[in-house]
Amino acid sequence: MSELFDAVDALIASRSPLPPPAERKRLRQAHGLTLDEVAAALQVRRATVSGWEAGKTEPRPPERDAYARMLKQLAQLYPADAPVPPEDTATPETPAVPAAPAPSAIEPAQARIAPTGPAAEPANIALRPAAPAAVPRPAVTTGPTSRRPAAKKAAPAGTPAGGADPRFENGPLVVVDVEADGQVLAFCIGGLVLDVPAKSIPALVEWTLREGRLGQPKLSGPGKDADPLIVLTDAACEHYGLPVTLTQQERLAGRIPEGHKVIKQLTRADWQLTKRGFGPWARIYRPAQGSERACVQLCIPSWDALDTRHWADAGQLPPADLARLLGTYASRVMTPRGSTAVTGLELMTALHPPTRASQPDATGKRHPEHNPGSLGKDPVDCAPCEAPDGHPLLADLPRFHVRGPGEKLFEEAYDWARPMTDAECTLRHLVGIDVNMAFAAGVNGLTVGLGAPTYVKNPAFDPKLPGSWLVDLSHVDLSKVKVGKEWVKLDGELLPSPFTPKGEHPTGPAWYATPTMAYAVELGYEVRPLEAYVRYENGRYLDGWYQRLRDAYLATMADLGVDADLSPEDFLAAMDGYKSRDPELAIVVSAVKATVKGGLGKLRERPRGEGWRPGEPWRALARPTWRPDIRAAVISRTRINLHRKIVKHAAFTGQYPVAILSDCVVYAADGPSPLDFLPYREGKPLPGGFKLGVNPGLVKHEGTQSVLWGEEVRDRFNAPELNLARYIKDGTVTDVDNGE
């Protein structure tokens, strides 16, 4: 009988009533609980709880009953009409005298504030909503179009000082939302809220350009100011006649149909769309009149404009919070122009525009001319060895021909692993360390080609000359290499080759980028190239790009409590749970990282459907920034930087990696912390080796599992060389990660 009772209890628990997703988040925040705390109590992952609060997934037994029980108790403590706790409130009422700005802190987004002035009532600052619809917004007050805080708040780092450019005094972007009574509001960064009189999308564009005072100053002298960004919430889409979500067909096409009524409205008002059409990142413009631009960028989160892989649940945030998040990214990186990958590529061009104004001619007119140090305005062909499969340069190859290392430049990140030695199996832990912003660090100070390649037969290798080189490196012996000026002996069988992504030893001539070749020379071996495609026009094109993204990353991590000058122990402690301190800023960190990787990936963008066939050109080839050689050089340098640290560590400690995946390295150790195997002496790391810290190129703790776990996983999959670095973070090994 007891078994029947248990079965009935389980059945009831499987249908435990739950409040709406927004209410779940409100109740958690009202009690001051973090996602990590709830996840730990319910023994699930943080992402699982986040999915429950976003309404993307629903809890299942046995967690559902416990989760429902927790929410029921919280609901009794915090009824829906109760005020939110102090940590979720805006700054209390302040006098009209400007307050001293807080140092480099990002203030929480504020609710709308009543106008100040001779005829206005004293400024009242309302509580900030903890979640959408959890606390009603204050009633709209009559008065000027804009509503400003009585006391100025500290702006995100990188935001121009107030009054520096009156054209963009309201910031780079707005999030447009609609009140229950139909009033349209535009949420800006810093808590500013604007009333929007526009009744249609064309009118909204006109208002943005004429009255919105939105945009961002150019990042480079010859560049252009950033166009204003309008983010439309679900309510705004519905208000302006746009679908809240796209159909499957529209999603595949990436746009709404050409005959949609909103597109007809834009056409009648003489507005145009780019070739991408009206999609998640629509650009609406009129042809420029002289130097005057008329262009607005739209972002529609409900159409998947904000990829959850990089922006997490940003699209589900309240309008003020979303404005704060995107505003922080815009002020530190640039106003988003599309996905993080598109923005990463656009940032390169914004920092190095292809043209600049010439000196006045005889008539006093200026003309566009090539901007030195840029990639120019016209695309250049890559070398045949740099071309990906299907490129027009390879159209004459047999249809099913597979190019080998002697025909194709194959510079990719590491994916290497080896069986553990008997000595390593006696240790207790597998510890993973991860290089911060590894590909950004690979960009730092790198000389890349700016122009077209030049073919050279039997060239002398020049480590300062960017290019692709055909050479045989099979004679390089990793058991005897130079470290600095001294030759050292290593166990070459326990090291991956620095010349191939899989760590395999080369067996004959292959194409390599300049950083790979230079490393072979650094290890003490002679190189004799057979052929090369070199670029005599070159420069450090990506230096400014690296510096801006590095500064954005470090500033945001500092806001999260992870500073660049922490001791190793303090750094590890600060990194523990840093995302929960401010989940919105943690999303900014994720987006900055994705901007680096995505921007570099765009340098060799492949065809994206559109009826493309092998041997035919595709759209990306028409861009000056389609440069697979630059991407290859960055990846080559990133992989070599990692191998150099591995060799120095092995020479000093006798320890060798068990697995490497891209920028994550796994070592066997006696203890669970990186400090249990990294050779620190009096707080100082091994020169040229791994160093704990937040700066790009330094390392953080990725995860720790037991040696027994590693052996059991490899036995289960019958794979002695399964790459454990892929699973070291949380130990979950599945073919498909279901988020649970």
Check the CA dihedral 629-631-632-634 and report its sign: positive
Q: Is the pLDDT of residue 271 over 80?
A: yes
- Asked which of 46-55, 294-303, 342-351, 524-533 is least confident by mean pLDDT, the reply is 46-55
- Mean pLDDT value of segment 69-74: 88
User: What value does the mean pLDDT take over residues 518-532?
Assistant: 97
Q: For residue 523, which of 590, 577, 476 has the smallest C-alpha distance? A: 476
- For 97, the token pair is 């005298």
pLDDT at 11: 55
> Can you tell me whether residue 416 is helix, strand or coil?
strand
What confidence tens digit (pLDDT) does each residue in 170-182 have? 999 999 999 998 9
Residue 367: per-residue pLDDT:
85
pLDDT at site 187: 96
Region of poorest pLDDT, from 421-430, 434-443, 492-501, 608-617: 608-617
**CA distance linking residue 703 with residue 661, whole number of Å:** 13
pLDDT score at 85? 42
Over residues 308-332, the mean pLDDT reads 96
**Per-residue pLDDT for 678 more than 90?**
yes
Q: Tell me: the pLDDT tens digits for 456-484?
A: 999 999 999 999 999 999 999 999 999 98
User: CA 196 to CA 193: how far, in whole Å?
Assistant: 10
Question: Closest Cα partner for 594 from 549, 543, 661, 558?
Answer: 549
What is the tens place of the pLDDT at every residue in 694-737?
999 999 999 999 999 999 999 998 988 899 999 999 999 876 33
**pLDDT tens track for 200-244:** 999 999 999 999 999 999 999 899 999 999 999 999 999 999 999
Q: In what order do the strands lie in the sheet with 193-196?
A: 146-147, 193-196, 184-187, 173-178, 229-232, 292-299, 283-289, 272-273
Average pLDDT for 136-141: 35
Q: Rounded CA gap, 436 and 593, in Å?
A: 9
What confidence tier does 565 reach under pLDDT thresholds 50, 70, 90? very high
Using 50, 70 and 90 to split pLDDT, how confident is the model at 5? low
Is the pLDDT at 387 greater than 90, yes or no? yes
- At 111 the pLDDT is 39
| pLDDT over 90 percentage in the chain | 70
Mean pLDDT of 113-119: 35
Query: Using an 8 Å Cβ cutoff, are 629 and 468 in contact?
Result: yes
Phi then psi dihedrals of residue 406, to 5 deg: -80, -5
Give pLDDT, residue 86.
39
Provide the pLDDT for residue 217. Answer: 94
Instruction: Name the range with the highest mean pLDDT among 120-134, 144-158, 626-640.
Output: 626-640
Q: What pLDDT, on a 0 to 100 scale, did the predictor assign at position 10?
A: 56
Q: Which of 313, 245, 241 is nearest to 280 (CA)?
A: 245
Q: How confident is the model at residue 15 (pLDDT cuts 50, 70, 90)?
A: low
DSSP state, 151? S
pLDDT for the residue 9: 59
Q: Which domains does the chain have, with CATH numbers?
A: 2-77 (1.10.260), 86-92+104-338 (no CATH), 384-412+443-539 (no CATH)
The two tokens of residue 83 are: 């005020």
With cut-offs at 50, 70 and 90, classify the pLDDT of residue 75.
Answer: confident
615 vs 49, higher pLDDT: 615
11-25, 582-596, 632-646, 674-688: range with lowest mean pLDDT: 11-25
Give me the helices (H) in 256-339, please.
261-268, 308-311, 319-332
pLDDT beyond 60 at 156 = no
Determine contact, residues 235/248, Cβ cutoff 8 Å.
no
Taking 60 as the threshold, does the pLDDT of residue 34 lie above it? Answer: yes
- Residue with the bigger pLDDT between 164 and 109: it is 164
**Strands (DSSP E) along 324-425, which ranges?**
355-357, 368-370, 415-417
pLDDT at 654 over 50: yes
Question: With 60 as the cut, is the pLDDT of residue 117 above it?
Answer: no
CA–CA distance from 594 to each of 265, 464, 570 (Å)? Answer: 35, 29, 26
In this predicted structure, the answer to whether residue 148 has a pLDDT above a threshold of 70 is: no
Taking the CA atoms of 556, 558, 562 and 566 in sequence, report the sign of the dihedral they define: positive
Q: What's the pLDDT score for residue 62?
A: 80
In the three-class reduction of DSSP (H, G, I as helix; E, B as strand; rest coil), residue 197 is classed as coil
Residue ranges of alpha helices (H) inside 525-623 are: 543-559, 568-575, 583-602
Stretch among 189-193, 232-236, 262-266 having the lowest mean pLDDT: 189-193
Q: Which residue has the higher pLDDT, 134 or 562?
A: 562
Helices 35-42, 46-54: axis angle to 10 degrees equals 110
> Minimum mean pLDDT among 107-111, 346-350, 628-632: which range?
107-111
pLDDT at 101 over 70: no
pLDDT at 427 over 50: yes
Task: Calculate mean pLDDT across residues 611-637.
Answer: 95
Average pLDDT, the chain: 86
pLDDT band at 621 (very low <50, low <70, confident <90, very high): very high
